[in-house]
Structure 1
Amino acid sequence: MSGTTRAGSYRAVLLLPSALRTFVPALLGRLSYGLLPLSLLFTVRSSTGSFTTAGAAVAVFGAASLSMPFKARLVDRYSQRRVLPLLAAGSSAGLVVVATAGTTPAAVLLLIGATGLLAPPLGPSMRSNWRLLTDGTALKERAYAVDAVSEECLFLAGPLIAGTLISVVSAPAALACSAALMLVGTLAMVTSPVTTRTAAVVAVAGAAGRQMLGPLTIPGLRRVLVVVTGAASGLSVAYVCVAGVAQQAGRPGSAGYVEAAIALGSVAGGLLWARRTHTRPWTTQLGGLIAVLAAGLLAASFAPGLIVLGVVLGLAGVAVAPMFVVAYLAADDVTPPYQRTEASTWINTANNLGSAAGAALAGLVTERAAPSWGFVGGAILLALVAATLAGSGVRQAGDGG
């Protein structure tokens, strides 16, 4: 029996009642995060005169993203309309202060930390809205794919927009634009009719929703998170090794083009993946997608130059967006409705933690050996994750027989 069937069209997803009314503002708000790293880096560099402080500011904001699951828990408990506007107002105000008021390095870092702690979980909240919008249809997987592909495009466009604003106007202007997008997008999204339905979901959250660890108490979710962490570690190795290859070739800027090829592959993969409805277990789907990434990294270790490397990793990148779509769907399957926004953020957090670990590992390898060995190491790690999933899938099939 085939594991896939034809799915509905993207047009069907976007024409769902209130879909565009909700999705477009959410994209505007999320575009803020695409502009933010570059605009924050150069704004802090300008105000403090230190690239060290500027880099630390970006790192502090990223570290503050670890609070995202707990903010999502507030959204699950009190609804998007009550929580998101407050978070967006506080975070955007902090960005405006950084953009307009020069201050000491220590004060900047403290302010950026507070700003990051208040950054609204717009991506997980939009996925929560997609669940409601597609309720009673077979379009949820396709909606998640549209969301994942759009997010990839935002993080391609964001740095380009930020760079243009920095060049034409100024870095503080780019940062203020990021703040405006965050606030306006969030406020417009939460006034959509669909967000009134999140309050109904909140109303059914009983005592189970008050557990300290939230959905982390669910074994199925913990299993998904372990897989995502391992896969993200292996994938992160590739990005660091790309930089190493570009540096050795004397063309460090070319690393950006190779990374763009991966992102474009991811966009294409997400669009192709959602053209079918996949019926196999999530372990089988994730195992196959991670195996594709493992094969891509192994092939990358033999690439004779940057152009071939970009082609190889671009082809491997077709598995990236589908991998996250499957992970989000798996998280939905194992968690109750009133914990799904938080569960979705744990997928992102696992990805961030895995990426950090992979980058550190790749840094050690490329420091002591050729980047090609880093690709091999990443491929081995991904292959181990895929093999573990394949083994668990066989056990499940045997149990079911």
Structure 2
Amino acid sequence: MSSTTRAGSYRAVLLLPSALRTFVPALFGRLAYGLLPLSILFTVHAATGSFAVAGAAGAGFGLSSLSMPFKARLVDRYSQRVVLPPLALVCALGLVVATQLTTPALLVALVTVTGLFAPPLGPSMRANWRLITDDTGLKERAYALDAICEESLYLAGPLLAGLLISFWSAPASLICTAALLAAGTCLMVTAPLTRRTSPPSPARHPLGPLTNRGLRRILLVILVTAAGVSTAYLCIAGAAQAEGRPGAAGFVEAGIGLGSVVGGLAWGRRKHTRPAETQLAGLIGVLAVGLLAASLVSHLVVLGVVMAAFGLAVSPLFVVSYVAADELTPPDQRTEASTWINTANNLGSAAGASLTGLLIDRAGPSYGFVAGGVLLVLVSVTLLRRPTAGRWSRRPGGRSGPGPRAGRRR
């Protein structure tokens, strides 16, 4: 029996009640996160003349993303309409004020504190998709559409920021970023479904969904996988630098994003019936093969093609993870659980990038690709050799067991 079946069309998802009304504003708000890195970098550099200070400000904003799960918990408890607009408005105000400062320490501190108020738009939109697709069988397809669009935003965001900086100024780009964030968030929560809250579980544990063993296993897989995947970006930069064409790194990296979009489109067109851990093992295996193949490539154009093939598994990896997290957690914890997937990815990427940088300096980018590939092979083989379908699923009564597979609604 085939492991996949037809899943309907993306048009069917967008025609569901409240879908466009919620999704389009959310995309504008999330576009702000695509503009943000370059906008902050060049705004702070223009004010201080230091890339070190600019990098510290960007790192501070990124580090503050660790607060995302706790903001998501507030969303689960009090609703998007109550929580998201104040967060977005305070964050936008902080970004605007940052364009007026020139003192390095104040800039770094302000940008870092501003990051604490960044609204969790991605997890919130996935929570909306759960409500929009309820009883339709289209949730996995909606998640795929969401992942594809998010990947596209992170391709378009730097380009748009570059145009604004080139033809206007870096502070103007940061102000536009703030406007997108505030407007997109406030328009998203005008939909009726954003008023909804989930009744809290009795005697909820302070760690929330992290008490679930299956979710912790998924987070560990995502964290280690992200460490392996992050090697690709630094190794691409190292390879481009070694060829004397550092600017080409951006085009090669764009291949990953393009592959991710294509992979997400293809993945979302099918319903997948294999267990989540089997799907993850296969997708991580594709990533591993891509990194190992990249270690054998010396020409940048060929490397771009290999990285596009590598990227085919990126969006599906997150779709499977989000669906599995939904299966494992009760309704009042799903936004927070989704945010922990992102947090594990960010932490793993940071750890992998720091270690890969040391390896590239000592041995070169080819060895970095090999190290990342070997790490992902180990993750994939471990998932296949130690099946955990029972521990990654929940029956309707909440007991662990070989219940619904990933992607099937409870």
Same fold (TM over 0.5): yes
Query: Which residue of 311, 326, 345 corresponds with 2:320?
Result: 326
Match of 1:160 in 2: 159
Match of 1:41 in 2: 41
Q: Retained in 1: the 8 A contact 2:227–2:352?
A: yes
Cα deviation, residue 29, structure 1: 0.3
Cα deviation, residue 394, structure 1: 7.8
The equivalences for 1:136-215 within 5 A come to 136-196=135-195, 198-199=196-197, 201=198, 204-209=199-204, 211-215=205-209
Q: Retained in 2: the 8 A contact 1:283–1:392?
A: no
Q: Retained in 1: the 8 A contact 2:276–2:389?
A: no
Cα deviation, residue 50, structure 1: 1.8
Cα deviation, residue 396, structure 1: 5.9
- Which letter maps to 1:214? G
Match of 1:21 in 2: 21
- Which letter maps to 1:155? Y
Cα deviation, residue 103, structure 1: 3.4
Distance 1:396 1:193 in 2: 36
SS of 1:102's equivalent in the other structure is coil
Distance 2:25 2:352 in 1: 33
Match of 1:379 in 2: 373
Per-residue deviation, residues 22-54 of structure 1 (Å, max 9, x unmatched): 000000000011111111111111112222111
The equivalences for 1:20-169 within 5 A come to 20-99=20-99, 101-169=100-168
- Which letter maps to 2:382? T
- How many residues align structurally? 393
- Which letter maps to 1:207? P
Per-residue deviation, residues 187-239 of structure 1 (Å, max 9, x unmatched): 0001112212x22x2xx213344x22111111111010001011111100111
SS of 2:312's equivalent in the other structure is helix
Q: Retained in 1: the 8 A contact 2:275–2:389?
A: no
SS of 1:5's equivalent in the other structure is strand
The equivalences for 1:258-273 within 5 A come to 258-273=252-267
Query: Which residue of 384, 387, 393 corresponds with 2:387?
Result: 393
TM-score by length of 1: 0.96
Q: Retained in 2: the 8 A contact 1:289–1:322?
A: yes
Distance 2:389 2:79 in 1: 39
Q: Retained in 2: the 8 A contact 1:258–1:313?
A: yes
Q: Retained in 2: the 8 A contact 1:301–1:372?
A: yes
SS of 1:304's equivalent in the other structure is coil
Distance 2:75 2:97 in 1: 26
Cα deviation, residue 304, structure 1: 2.5
Distance 2:317 2:95 in 1: 33
SS of 1:393's equivalent in the other structure is coil
Distance 1:231 1:395 in 2: 19
Q: Which moved more, 1:372-381 or 1:42-51?
A: 42-51
Match of 1:344 in 2: 338
Gaps of 5+ in 2: 392-400, 403-410
Distance 1:395 1:276 in 2: 21
- Which letter maps to 1:347? I
The equivalences for 1:1-20 within 5 A come to 1-20=1-20
Match of 1:300 in 2: 294
Distance 1:291 1:158 in 2: 29
Distance 1:107 1:72 in 2: 28
Per-residue deviation, residues 256-294 of structure 1 (Å, max 9, x unmatched): 111000100000000000110001100000000000010
Match of 1:362 in 2: 356
Per-residue deviation, residues 94-117 of structure 1 (Å, max 9, x unmatched): 001012x22311111111111000
Cα deviation, residue 297, structure 1: 0.7
Q: Retained in 2: the 8 A contact 1:141–1:325?
A: yes
Q: Retained in 2: the 8 A contact 1:296–1:312?
A: yes
Match of 2:396 in 1: none
Tell me, yes or no, if structure 1 residue 315 matches structure 2 residue 315: no
Match of 1:279 in 2: 273
Task: Decide whether aligned partners of structure 1 residues 258 and 208 sit closer, same or farther in structure 2, where only a CA change above 3 A counts.
Answer: farther
- Which letter maps to 1:119? A
- Which letter maps to 2:52? T
Q: What is the identity percentage for the equivalent residue pairs of Structure 1 and Structure 2?
A: 66
TM-score by length of 2: 0.94
Distance 2:308 2:58 in 1: 27
SS of 2:386's equivalent in the other structure is helix
Match of 2:211 in 1: 217
Distance 2:182 2:71 in 1: 16
Distance 1:48 1:360 in 2: 26
Distance 1:188 1:380 in 2: 45
Q: Retained in 2: the 8 A contact 1:130–1:144?
A: yes
Q: Retained in 2: the 8 A contact 1:48–1:102?
A: no
